[in-house]
Chain A
Amino acid sequence: GAGVSQSPRYKVAKRGQDVALRCDPISGHVSLFWYQQALGQGPEFLTYFQNEAQLDKSGLPSDRFFAERPEGSVSTLKIQRTQQEDSAVYLCASSSETRGVHEQYFGPGTRLTVT
């Protein structure tokens, strides 16, 4: 079956531009997570949705970062006025249940380069 998909796979933005990154989770997966992976680091949590509700956004690094999942399926991560430190791979993951299932399935990521 189809896994988690993300688009675009690569994005180059000039400093100060806004970007929007899309995530299509596995069909029927209730939970959706966004992570940021800097070069040489492990993924770090940004935000979590259960259906359309954003239950945890404690990992968003600044108010320039905004995520939404209006219909409980596709999610968009938006970064306003991009800065060079935003350069990273942005990973989306989905999971099938709210309780009792712990494995998260990741998409291929979007590599964002801010010049």
Chain B
Amino acid sequence: DQQVKQNSPSLSVQEGRISILNCDYTNSMFDYFLWYKKYPAEGPTFLISISSIKDKNEDGRFTVFLNKSAKHLSLHIVPSQPGDSAVYFCAAKTNSGNTPLVFGKGTRLSVIA
């Protein structure tokens, strides 16, 4: 049973518009959430994170929103740029020390110029 779900395998957005990537989780013990970006033949690159004590975290063009009651988080990218085209992974962990990340299957974002 997947504990972290990214239900959209792919998303296509025009350059300059907003990209919204969604993620749902089932394990109520998760309290730290991360987004990673992955280009082909490279490892995942850390993008942005959020603790469960917050509902929003912003870093430049990237904002992550967390809705704990719905067990849902989303990553907003605005404005989207062609260089943002990649696979985006949502990951979650418990806050008890250095525990493993649990990943979703990823969403492939294509930003069209």
- Give CA–CA (A45, B102) in the complex, Å: 7
Chain A positions within 8 Å of B101 at CB level = 33, 35, 43, 45, 93, 104
* Nearest-CB residue, chain A, relative to B47: A103
B109 an interface residue at 8 Å Cβ cutoff? no
- Give CA–CA (A6, B42) in the complex, Å: 11
Interface segment out of the listed B14-22, B74-82, B92-100: B92-100
Interface contact tally, CB-CB below 8 A: 64
Interface segment out of the listed A12-20, A65-73, A74-82, A106-114: A106-114
- A99-B98, A102-B93 are contacts. A43–B49 as well, Cβ < 8 Å? no
- Give CA–CA (A59, B33) in the complex, Å: 20
- Give CA–CA (A102, B4) in the complex, Å: 17
| Binary per-residue interface labels of chain A (87-104) against chain B in the complex, 1 for a CB within 8 Å, 0 otherwise | 000010101011101111
The reply to whether A103 and B34 contact each other, CB–CB distance below 8 Å, is yes
The reply to whether A91 and B100 contact each other, CB–CB distance below 8 Å, is no
The reply to whether A102 and B102 contact each other, CB–CB distance below 8 Å, is no
* Nearest-CB residue, chain A, relative to B93: A102
The reply to whether B97 and A99 contact each other, CB–CB distance below 8 Å, is yes
The reply to whether A42 and B104 contact each other, CB–CB distance below 8 Å, is yes
The reply to whether B43 and A102 contact each other, CB–CB distance below 8 Å, is no
Chain B positions within 8 Å of A41 at CB level = 105
- A42-B104, A102-B32, A103-B49 are contacts. A91–B98 as well, Cβ < 8 Å? no
Chain B positions within 8 Å of A50 at CB level = 98
Partner of B105 from A6, A40, A59, A107 at Cβ < 8 Å: A40
* Nearest-CB residue, chain B, relative to A30: B98
The reply to whether A48 and B43 contact each other, CB–CB distance below 8 Å, is no
- Give CA–CA (A42, B105) in the complex, Å: 4
Question: How close is A66's CB to chain B, nearest CB, in angstroms?
Answer: 18
Partner of B45 from A6, A31, A106, A109 at Cβ < 8 Å: A106
